[in-house]
Amino acid sequence: MILQDVVWTLALVGIGLVALVFAAVVLQAGRPAEEAAARRFAARARRLQAGLFAVLLAGFVAGSWATLHRFPIPPQHGTVAARQVVEAIGRQWSWQITPATVESGSVVEFRVTAADVNHGFALYAPGGRIVTQTQAMPGYTNRLLHTFDEPGTYTIQCLEYCGIGHGPMKATLQVVAPASE
């Protein structure tokens, strides 16, 4: 499953769970409890709150570790062993991509910057989904690493609003199968 679908599913499950809890409580509302039952419930609610805290905390620790232990953003300084390097410069309103052809199967280092204002460098797969992205900011070069699994025509689309020509600001990147195999 691609990441977007995972995130979507998690969101629906999370929103759905919250909705279920609300629905359950709303159905109980308007039917007031006896005083003794209300006191028992108050005590149970406090224990439940502690339990909820523990669950959230465990999820927080596990989730943070799982998503951060291999840091998702490549190191920005020093050398990386990328055989392929692509320079990407955004300007109002076009991309300068050199070279515009890369090989699949080995890591590509994109050096992304902007000549005038902020732009967004997003790589769309042939099927239309974003595979990765970074910002293109004047005065800075962001180093993005990506390995293409599949050859094809990828689209580079500006994702940071940069003026009236922002929407059509795209370029193509050809990903070809490695020559020497």
Tell me which of 91, 111, 143, 166 binds Cu ion, using CB under 5 A. Answer: 166
Scan residues 94-133 and list those touching another protein (CB under 8 A). Answer: 116-118, 120, 122, 124, 128-133
Tell me which of 65, 71, 78, 181 binds another protein, using CB under 8 A. Answer: 71
Answer for the pair 126, 151: CB distance below 8 angstroms, yes or no.
no
User: Is residue 45 involved in binding another protein (CB under 8 A)?
Assistant: yes
Is 64 or 98 the residue whose CB approaches another protein more closely?
64
Q: Please state, in angstroms and as integers, the Cα–Cα distance from residue 123 to each residue in 6, 136, 138, following that order.
A: 19, 13, 19
User: Is residue 58 involved in binding another protein (CB under 8 A)?
Assistant: no
CB atoms within 10 A of CB 84: 15
Alpha carbons 71 and 29: distance in angstroms, whole number: 46
Q: How far is the CB of 119 from Cu ion (least distance, A)?
A: 5
User: Is residue 52 involved in binding another protein (CB under 8 A)?
Assistant: yes
Q: How far is the CB of 151 from another protein (least distance, A)?
A: 20
User: Is residue 62 involved in binding another protein (CB under 8 A)?
Assistant: no
Scan residues 8-67 and list those touching Cu ion (CB under 5 A). Answer: none
Number of residues that bind Cu ion (CB under 5 A): 5
Place of tokens 């769970």: 17
User: Is residue 39 involved in binding another protein (CB under 8 A)?
Assistant: no
Is 42 or 176 the residue whose CB approaches another protein more closely?
42
